[in-house]
């Protein structure tokens, strides 16, 4: 069977959609032309590039190898998830906020 002439990106998209359907996976796609699904990832990518790649905070000097980038990335991810003070969380770390959240869920009701 001959496939219609389409851009490789279109063909990849069609194949990807078919694969998701075969596996019973619902795609995370908004309406055509919107960027809501990508917004969070683009924000994180921007933060990563600004805070990790374009500074020497997580790595001294230039990146010379892939291992240098991987090591700096691991340091940034650890800091971002565990030690970063978050303004909308009351200047506590995400880990502290999550811990407090689950502690509140698991509290036994106190007699009145």
Domain limits of the chain? 34-106
Cα–chain center distance at 72: 17
Question: Rounded CA gap, 48 and 84, in Å?
Answer: 13
User: Contact 58/79 with Cβ under 8 angstroms?
Assistant: yes
How would residue 30 be classed by pLDDT, with cut points 50, 70 and 90?
Answer: low
H or E segment to which residue 100 belongs: helix 94-106
- Rounded to whole angstroms, the Cα distance separating 59 from 71 reads 8
pLDDT tens column, 40-94: 778 889 999 999 999 999 999 999 999 999 999 999 999 998 999 999 999 999 9
What is the pTM assigned to this prediction? Answer: 0.59
Query: What does the DSSP assignment read for 9-28?
Result: HHHHHHHHHHHHHHHTPPP-
């Amino acid at each position: 069977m001959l496939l219609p002439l389409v851009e490789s990106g279109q063909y990849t998209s069609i194949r990807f959609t078919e694969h998701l359907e075969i596996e019973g996976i619902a795609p995370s796609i908004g309406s055509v032309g919107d960027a809501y699904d990508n917004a969070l990832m683009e924000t994180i990518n921007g933060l990563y590039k600004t805070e990790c790649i374009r500074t020497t905070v997580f790595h001294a000097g230039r990146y010379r190898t892939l291992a240098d980038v991987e090591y700096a990335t691991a340091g940034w991810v650890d800091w971002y998830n565990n030690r970063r003070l978050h303004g909308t969380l009351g200047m506590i770390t995400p880990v502290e906020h999550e811990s407090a959240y689950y502690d509140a869920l698991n509290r036994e009701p106190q007699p009145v």
